[in-house]
Amino acid sequence: MKARVTVTLKTGVLDPQGKAIEGALKSLGIDGVASVRQGKVFDIELDGDKTKAEAALKAAADRLLANTVIENYRVEVLG
């Protein structure tokens, strides 16, 4: 089964990379960009039923994929 874990920075955590990307978008003349926050996406293939997969993905995110000091994550089982 396919799943996706999305890791994003918590609100209030400074994101210098996002700021630099925001500046570059503005210099490209792309209108209306208010702010950019950079995150990460993990596409994961795994075995087992949906409930087990969700538990495994949550463990993966908690223990490695995200640093919960500064990041939030979202787990989606895509089927």
Residues lying near another protein in the complex (CB under 8 A): 13-14, 16-17, 20, 63-65, 67, 69-70
Q: Are 42 and 73 in contact (CB under 8 A)?
A: no
Q: Quick one: 56 or 70, whose CB is closer to another protein?
A: 70
User: With the CA atoms of 23, 26, 32 and 34 taken in that order, what torsion angle do they form, in degrees rounded to the nearest 10?
Assistant: 10
Phi, psi of 2 (to 5 degrees): -105, 145
Q: Quick one: 13 or 78, whose CB is closer to another protein?
A: 13
> Residue 11: left (phi > 0), alpha (psi -120 to 50), or beta?
beta
Q: Quick one: 50 or 74, whose CB is closer to another protein?
A: 74
